[in-house]
Structure 1
Amino acid sequence: MNLANASKENVEYMIEQIKLKLRVASGAAIRSEHFAEGRYEELVELYEHVMSKETFSVSEIDAIVQELGRLRR
């Protein structure tokens, strides 16, 4: 997937992949339409960080979910 261009489809893809990788229990609360394209670069950085790791501690998952909350509209 080419994430170089900000698009609704790319945001949706990244959010879904992050939720799958983290196995977030409250994944329904994290929806792609809650994220503005103006924060696209930050979301890409977070996505790349999440995808680069194999496992996460509870505190890491908490920090990532908090960062997702900060990136919301």
Structure 2
Amino acid sequence: MNLNEASQENLKFLLEQLSERLGVANRALFDDEDYDLERYDHLKFLYDHVVQTGKLSPQETAAFVDELRSVRKGS
């Protein structure tokens, strides 16, 4: 899987991984149907940051969730 390539499959993978790493209870925020592939690069950037950082503080997690909300369709 080449995550540098924007595809629906990769988008779904990124969102699933973000959901697990952020430990968010509301999984509805991570439904790949709610995101446009046009915003894939932004989501990939967030994913890369979370992977590199490892464990996030509660404040960082809240900031990431807010950022994800802003990238969703209709936002």
TM-score, with length taken from structure 1:
0.92
CA distance in 2, matches of 1:29, 1:68: 8
The aligned length equals 73
- Kindly indicate whether the alpha-carbon contact (under 8 Å) linking 2:15 and 2:31 is maintained by their aligned counterparts in 1: yes
Q: Deviations over 1:37-65 (max 9, x none)?
A: 11111011001001112211111000000
Structure 1 stretches lacking a partner, 5+ long: none
CA distance in 2, matches of 1:17, 1:49: 12
Matched, 1:13 2:13: yes
TM-score, with length taken from structure 2:
0.90
Aligned-pair CA distance for 1:6: 0.8
- What corresponds to 1:52 in structure 2? 52
Secondary structure in 1 matching 2:55: coil
Moved over 6 A (4+): none
Aligned-pair CA distance for 1:29: 3.4
Change (3 A) 1:29 1:39: closer
Q: Deviations over 1:12-56 (max 9, x none)?
A: 000000001111111233211111011111011001001112211
CA distance in 2, matches of 1:29, 1:49: 19
